[in-house]
């Protein structure tokens, strides 16, 4: 017989709210493309601009949204700012979506 765990609805609501927040941030084509590239490894702003053909100020705006949502982090390397995915949840979603969008 399969044992079922009793559902704590407060925990379920909190998890659902967190997932909705994540999906709201990711529900933008530019941000999704940025996360797709970053799921393959860290990239500089210049590399992202060249790979995705997303130019300033749009690129900065979308990276700011991702940074403020704590999905990506930055580090400075000389004059370059290097981005990487810092959210395990975002990385997990991108791994699921990779076959659908990243390799298209």
Distance CA 100, CA 8 (A): 33
Question: Position of tokens 């994540």?
Answer: 22
* pLDDT 10s digits, 12-52: 898 899 989 999 999 999 999 999 999 999 999 999 999 99
**CATH code (residue 60):** 1.10.10.10
Domain residues for the domain of 43 are 34-102
CB 61 within 8 A of CB 42: no
Would 10 be classed as within a structural domain?
Answer: no
pTM of the complete model: 0.85
């Amino acid at each position: 017989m399969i044992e079922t765990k009793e559902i704590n609805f407060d925990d379920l609501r909190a998890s659902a709210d967190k997932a909705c927040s994540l999906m709201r941030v990711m529900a933008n084509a530019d941000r999704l493309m940025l996360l797709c590239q970053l799921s393959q490894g860290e990239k500089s702003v210049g590399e992202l601009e060249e790979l995705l053909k997303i130019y300033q100020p749009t690129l900065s705006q979308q990276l700011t949204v991702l940074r403020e949502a704590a999905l990506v982090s930055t580090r400075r390397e000389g004059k370059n700012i290097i981005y990487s995915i810092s959210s395990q949840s975002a990385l997990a979603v991108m791994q699921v979506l990779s076959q659908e969008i990243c390799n298209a």
